[in-house]
Amino acid sequence: MSARDAILARLRAAAPRTVPTDAQALSQAIDHHYDGRRAAPDADPLAAAQTMLAALTALHAEAWCADAASWPAQLAQRLAAAGVRRLLLDPVRPEAAALIEALPPAIEAVAFAQPIEAWKRELFDTIDAGFTVARSGIAATGTLVIAPDASTPRTVSLVPPLHVAVVHAHTLHADLHEAARAEQWPAGMPSNLVLVSGPSKTSDIQQTTAYGAHGPRRLWVVIVTDAQGTTS
């Protein structure tokens, strides 16, 4: 038996004897597959946050956990220390409003209040950072799930050299399958759902990794727990 035949024989032997043909049965089979691969939920309520934190760090993002009361002041202090002077955000969002309250006078909060064509040069030349609130997160891969809208378009997380994101610990999912199922993605996907894992990077040229080629060079993520440092 050739090596090719041996490989094909193993694949055929491992293939399921019957394959579901209708959508519901296929969906159940996929759920069963991923449920079997997934470890039992950890008793520690912060386990998902710690997994998310480790994955983001491995991806060259700067991430930390903070409780709901202290994260705005912590983030404002870091922004000031990093020399940020103009921060793009949606001031209507509760998280953005809390951050604005904590910002020092030297940092200006800027809303995306006009078409990009009207202030493209200002946007590209003077905005130091963009602030977004993730819809959820995928702990296993350190991925932010962001749903852009009119007040926080994709530009906010794409153009400024620093992308700052907040994700609430209670919205973290173990993996992509759990996120899709828990948030019922098949029932109605938004027109633009963005998955962000680490700063923008590419290895297109001589396979040398370069950051900031197609988007933000830096990614900061605040994983927000509740006031007691738990996720409940």
pLDDT band at 155 (very low <50, low <70, confident <90, very high): very high
pLDDT digits (tens, 9 = 90+) for 192-215: 899 999 898 888 777 788 888 789
How far apart CA 158 and CA 156 sit, in angstroms, is: 6
The per-residue pLDDT for 43 is 63
Percent of the chain with pLDDT over 70: 94
pLDDT band at 21 (very low <50, low <70, confident <90, very high): confident
pLDDT digits (tens, 9 = 90+) for 104-148: 999 999 999 999 999 999 999 999 999 999 999 999 999 999 999
pLDDT of 231 over the 60 cut: no
pLDDT of 64 over the 70 cut: yes
The average confidence (pLDDT) of the chain is 90
Q: Which of 14-23, 55-64, 137-146, 201-210 shows the lowest mean pLDDT across its residues?
A: 14-23
The per-residue pLDDT for 232 is 45
Q: Tell which CATH architecture fits domain 45-203+211-224.
A: 3-Layer(aba) Sandwich (3.40)
pLDDT band at 173 (very low <50, low <70, confident <90, very high): very high
Q: Do residues 144 and 215 touch, judged by C-beta distance below 8 A?
A: no
How far apart CA 166 and CA 146 sit, in angstroms, is: 10
pLDDT of 33 over the 90 cut: no
How far apart CA 189 and CA 169 sit, in angstroms, is: 22
Residues 103-131: b if buried by 16+ CB within 10 A, e if exposed:
beeebebbebeeeeeeeeeebeeebbbbb
Percent of the chain with pLDDT over 90: 66
Place of tokens 């956990």: 65
Rounded mean pLDDT, 83-101: 97
Per-position DSSP letters for the chain, written without gaps between them: --HHHHHHHHHHHHS-SS---SHHHHHHHHHHHHHHHSPPPPSSTTHHHHHHHHHHHHTT-EEEEEETTTHHHHHHHHHHHTT--EEEE-TTSHHHHHHHHH--TTSEEEE--S-GGGSHHHHHHH--EEEEE-SEEEGGGTEEEE---SSS-HHHHHSSSEEEEEEEGGGEESSHHHHHHHTTGGG---S--EEE-SS-EE-TTTT--EESSSS-SEEEEEEEE-TTSS--
Checking DSSP bridges between strand 201-202 and strand 210-211, what pairing results, if any?
Answer: antiparallel
How far apart CA 142 and CA 172 sit, in angstroms, is: 10
Provide CB contacts within 8 A for 115, sequence distance 6+: none
pLDDT of 51 over the 70 cut: yes
Rounded mean pLDDT, 51-57: 96
pTM given for the model:
0.85
> Where in the chain are the domains?
45-203+211-224
